[in-house]
Structure 1
Amino acid sequence: MRRRHHQLAAGGVTLTLLGALVLTGCGGAGSKDAAPKESAGVSDGTPSSAPSSSTPSSSAAAAATDRPKVVMPADVRHVYEGGRTGDPVKDAVLADNARNLEAIDTAITGDRASTEPALRFYNKDKALLAVADYIESYYAENRSFVGTTRYYRRDVTVGGGTATLTYCADATQTYPKDRRTGKVDRSVPGSASDYTFFTERLRKNDNGVWQSFDVTSGPGADKCA
């Protein structure tokens, strides 16, 4: 397994990161004035390394609320397959989910402290617990990773004021990195354990941000083949 050694599910959370996330503003989107503007390239689910011209202008909510700035390390990249659905609500859900995924991986592979506002911005309740536990597990084992994670089969269902999002992650092009030495092990072969299936529930808050409030993941070799 290259990077996804720990599944996302609330429970057993390590208190170190949870304290930083929850005690400073659990689940809230925060002040719009306090949130720095987001970097271009993730709004339609495209990698953050994409040029600014790829940022969509169709989401009124995204335009009305500044998103936290997340800058992924140069050696970490996301690829989102599927593009826009044509439904503005579903596209807004996918856009905030992509931003959240980039914040999570930046916290793991880059500067965790500066990414905490974004994690609070996009997560609340059980999802915040799960994300905190997931990130802390990497630090507890002095692990990180480099490379490209592919997100695909992203399907959104909206109803009753909430959205359910399922998607697959392919981490076969990522490689484990020792946080203490900085050494990357590129000899690790890809395997079925590098595929993960996610189920996420989101709700739009008063600032127009689709926040994740519940997320689980599990082996994706069968569902994501």
Structure 2
Amino acid sequence: MNRRRPTLLAALALTTATALTLSACGSDDDSSGDNDKIAGTDTGDKPSATPSPSDSSGGKQPDITFPSDAENVFEDSKTGDAKKDAVLADSALSVNAVDEAIFKGSTDTKALGYYNTGKALSSSITYAQGYIDDDDTWIGETRYFDRKVTFSGESQAYVIYCSDESKSYIKNKKTGKVDKSAPTADSYVLYNTKLVKNAAGVWQTTDIASNRRDKACQP
């Protein structure tokens, strides 16, 4: 099947204020859609070249590596606004960090807690651990598109984006079996996320909510 794992994660709802801020960017799709997805990575089996983290502290950010048969593609990375681009870069890295934990079979990775914190971190751990417990991973390509940033003050941002999982598939590590079911409306997910800039200058994801089958993300 495409990467959907409906029994694993009920994504956390954002605060009422956040939901109101983002509602104009979402869709009026019916609320029965599964809220179950967090996400992915960048390049194969080597440190990710892009996106670049926004850390301005001079510290070394953790490398994120992917196997050669899996890739996350992030569109809309360059807006012409340096601050927005920094938020989008760290938002992508928070997604990558979750997938790296899946690939490595461990939630005890440096990147997972570097780019995610609070409720987003705890739910990311739960999501990745579900894959690990089932001896599952994924292969293929996941595309992230229509990424948009809004700000609330200097150190708080909201990012909404869509994912296209139609070309990524769950693979069982023990059997090597890949489930390549045909894509459906479930292959597309809308995400609403909240990020806060920490003392090191990293835009950490703190909250995330998702809606699978959202009309705003359908082709």
* TM-score greater than 0.5 by the shorter chain: yes
Alignment of 1:99 with 2:101, yes or no, is no
Q: Which moved more, 1:132-141 or 1:121-130?
A: 132-141
Does the CA contact (< 8 Å) of 2:51 and 2:89 recur in 1? Answer: no
Deviation at 1:223, TM superposition (A): 1.6
Instruction: Give yes or no for contact 2:135–2:172 (8 Å, CA) kept in 1.
Output: yes
The reply to whether residue 223 of structure 1 matches residue 219 of structure 2 is no
Matched, 1:123 2:116: yes
Indicate conservation of the 8 Å contact 1:196/1:218, yes or no.
yes
Structure 1 match to 2:172: 178
Contiguous gaps of at least 5 residues in structure 2 = 14-40
Asked if the contact 2:106–2:129 (Cα under 8 Å) also holds between the matched residues in 1, the reply is no
Give 3-state SS (helix, strand or coil) of 1:79's partner.
strand
- Counterparts of 2:12 and 2:100 in 1: how far apart (Å)? 20
Distance 1:60 1:217, change over 3 A: closer
Cα distance change of structure 1 residues 168 and 2 upon mapping to structure 2, 3 Å threshold: same
| 8 Å CA contact retained: 2:77, 2:89 | no
CA distance in 1, matches of 2:202, 2:118: 15
**Corresponding position of 2:33:** none
Secondary structure of residue in 2 paired with 1:94: helix
Q: Which amino acid aligns with 2:200?
A: N
Alignment root-mean-square deviation, CA:
2.6
Aligned 8 A contact 1:8 1:215 in 2: no
* Residue deviations 1:175-220 (CA, integer Å, cap 9, x gap): 221122222233x111110111111100010000000111111114
Query: What aligned pairs does 1:29-178 form with structure 2 within 5 A after superposition?
Result: 47-48=42-43, 55=50, 61=55, 64-108=58-102, 110-113=103-106, 116-160=109-153, 161-178=155-172
Stretch deviating more after TM superposition (94-103 or 113-122):
113-122
Per the alignment, in what secondary structure is the counterpart of residue 127 of structure 1?
helix
Q: Count how many residue pairs are aligned between Structure 1 and Structure 2.
A: 186
Q: How far is the alpha carbon of 1:61 from its aligned partner?
A: 3.3
Deviation at 1:62, TM superposition (A): 5.1
Using structure 1 for the length normalisation, give the TM-score. 0.74
Between the aligned partners of 1:224 and 1:144, the Cα distance in structure 2 is 24
| 1:102 Cα offset (Å) | 1.4
Structure-1 separation of matches of 2:137 and 2:42:
19
Alpha-carbon distance in structure 2 between the residues aligned to 1:63 and 1:88 = 17
Contact 1:196/1:221, CA 8 A, preserved across alignment: yes
Is the 8 Å Cα contact of residues 77 and 88 (structure 2) preserved in structure 1? no
Aligned residues with identical type, % of pairs: 37
Cα 1:77–1:8 change in 2 (3 A) is: farther
Q: Is structure 2 residue 11 aligned with structure 1 residue 9?
A: yes
Match of 2:27 in 1: none
Which residue in 2 is equivalent to 1:21?
Answer: none
C-alpha contact 1:65 1:208 (8 A) present in aligned 2: no
| Residues in 1 aligned to 2:207 and 2:196: alpha-carbon distance in whole angstroms | 10
Contact 1:93 1:210 in 2 (8 A): yes
**CA 1:66 to 1:114, structure 2 compared with 1: closer, same or farther past 3 Å?**
farther
